Structure 1
């Protein structure tokens, strides 16, 4: 299915690793011009070697002023993927202020800031656009030691709906993708314990974790005009986890 992404300019945060990196690679392969945002210079350097023409931006999105400086003049962007996130897992009674501050700064506040930058430019140019926020099944199900992470993703789901409501009249669509555990290198490392993995897999009707391409395919669909009547949605990519 032709998605019509060629020639469009996309910005992807958290582009150095995992879902973000694979999204950049897929957009590049589809002919899009991509701005890749990461806080790790080495990851960006290797990504540019893999995908010549990708524009790297190295910035820590938890820093509002640095983000404004780095992206304020990024130029016209048609498509945005808010993927950057942190997962600082602590038992509820041991949650620290630092974990709260960092998690909400990156997982929610940065989404607001980067989306404002892109949306304002789209509105000023009078052109349609699409934003995809990478949420999680953790936005809708309680997971042990995930109080802060679940809270940030629950907030992201509602932010997605309000953004869709307010930006819709400007022909800017906003959707979220809500994956289960994804077999990125980090996912493989965190879920390599068979007992821990079994407890989660037993709650997934399809009996498997997601591969990166499952998530990337959903992102590309929501960015494309093939989903032109879809906005304000939270799309599970979870093998049925949220049905149980």
Structure 2
């Protein structure tokens, strides 16, 4: 029998679910019939999400707060899937002037927060003998230098890719898969808006050197995440998956 998405009734936690990529993923999963638990540090964003999609369960929390996040996830049902999407980008700063505080602030959210969520979710999965899938939302900036001023962000996402492989190695025997998706700038997100505001010519430059001649869109990322959460990818783990329209792997003259 051909493999199916098989997401109906699955319990899936999405972090950073209030806006942008996380919100789009939560909505798509809800439409697939999954039981979505949406975690965000911004109550108003969750309120509007749940108002539009009443089956989604809101969780107000900041992945920066290790213990509070752990308690809130431990109170949930055992998950079938987790999307580590919560992430921030530092204010642009050249590498020679970075402070420890700037580095740590980004690492706490983008890397350590994801590790904490994965630990809690997978510990419960293992105890219950449940297989499942973890998807980490990373960046194509871990695979090639894209532009300057974002060292903390790049380091945090490169660490997330490394954590993806290590988790995949150690959790594979329990039937738990772990993959990352690595998009370029995603049109319509707060992060992309900030980048384009600080560098108005960036969009034109990216589109020029991208074979697909456009920025990544939310649906491009959401579709890939859904694939990794689903049974269609049942033997895929420990991978990093570029979503950038071919920009990193093609040279445009």
Q: Considering the TM-score relative to the shorter chain, is it more than 0.5?
A: yes
Per-residue deviation, 1:95: 1.4
For 2:144, the equivalent position in structure 1 comes to 141
The match for 2:162 among 141, 146, 158 is: 158
Q: Which stretch shows the higher mean deviation, 17-26 or 180-189?
A: 180-189
Residue pairs, 1:1-244, within 5 angstroms: 2-88=4-90, 89-142=92-145, 143-186=147-190, 187-188=192-193, 190-191=195-196, 194-244=200-250
Moved over 3 A (4+): none
- 2:43–2:60 CA contact under 8 A, matched in 1: yes
Question: Number of paired residues?
Answer: 244
Cα RMSD for the two superposed structures:
1.4
SS in 2 for 1:84: coil
Q: Which stretch shows the higher mean deviation, 194-203 or 217-226?
A: 194-203
Residues of 2 paired with 1:199 and 1:93: CA distance? 26
| TM-score, scaled to structure 2 | 0.92
Residues of 1 paired with 2:159 and 2:248: CA distance? 17
Q: Which sections of structure 2, spanning at least 5 residues, go unmatched? A: none
- Residues 1:166 and 1:28: Cα distance change in structure 2 (over 3 Å): same
| TM-score, scaled to structure 1 | 0.96
- 2:20–2:189 CA contact under 8 A, matched in 1: yes
Per-residue deviation, 1:224: 0.2
